[in-house]
Structure 1
């Protein structure tokens, strides 16, 4: 399905029944990364899986910015009339979730972010260096995005007043101290570092994240 929001079209899938749950993928991906987890989640939730602008079946744009993506998601939720959904965001999706929750206090009922960062230097230096090299050759707007954004302040994190779970893999490409910083500055948030997991090993085409989401929602 497609919906017009914020001046563009977003492609999305809707499955299941129950309270609304929005799943946001990471950079260079699309909603298909959640195929396996959705098979479980749709038993208890109405699952919405949009493709971010510039990704999947959604509109292409010359530039990509996290603020535009956060505005897209807020408009998506409001246009569909979703009543304070739970939002799960992976990587770039987590960044979008942090912005949306900070700027729209009544938009969401709960937020779960995995492998998110609030500034480019939240990436491990080696990973940041790889993306810089890739951009030299590919000039991809999605790579430029990771090198120049986000720029989320501690004050912005402090404006989030809904239940929040912050997760990362033990071998994540996000610096562990940066993940801890995010959790420390969101009032009342919980932090879980998953042993043995990488940035997306427990999320991309994995059912593991479904259990984490369900447990987080049930604890709220």
Structure 2
């Protein structure tokens, strides 16, 4: 093995040791009694993030492998490139549902909106019923009570993304046009696929 190769491998090992040390410092900082927004915790977090990014990069260069860690601000593909201190954020939510019981869905809508003809063909009145229910209830309430409405939860995701302050109504004509993954600060996904992976 050449000296250059040995040096590169030792650099990978050194980067790994740096991550381990950063984890110890971070754990010590977060477990010590302190006030909220403790500067030591923030510093330890930033050092851990930097060490993890450095290790991931050199691991890829030498072994063509990556770690399973995603650090906000990472320089990898699709990484956050927005401002460190955004002036505003957008919260983008997608929830998918299967319509498992059209009759129940229609019945719930009829309870809310008297103009819907009771007993009408539920298959033919689904779109009207959906409009009534989603106009009446908050999305979080529908998610919590979806079975009552004849719905079954599918995958869902919530994105918190940096954005520029806007005037009222400015983006309403095309609300999702500016959904840029590189402005994504964090995301939270719910899917059965993750349950399958755990099993």
Bucket of the pairwise TM-score, normalised by the shorter protein: under 0.3
Which structure is richer in relative contact order (CA contacts within 8 A, separation 6 or more)? 2
Structure with the larger helix share: 2
Q: Which has the larger radius of gyration?
A: 2
Q: TM-score, normalization: structure 2?
A: 0.23
TM-score by length of 1: 0.22
More strand by share: 1
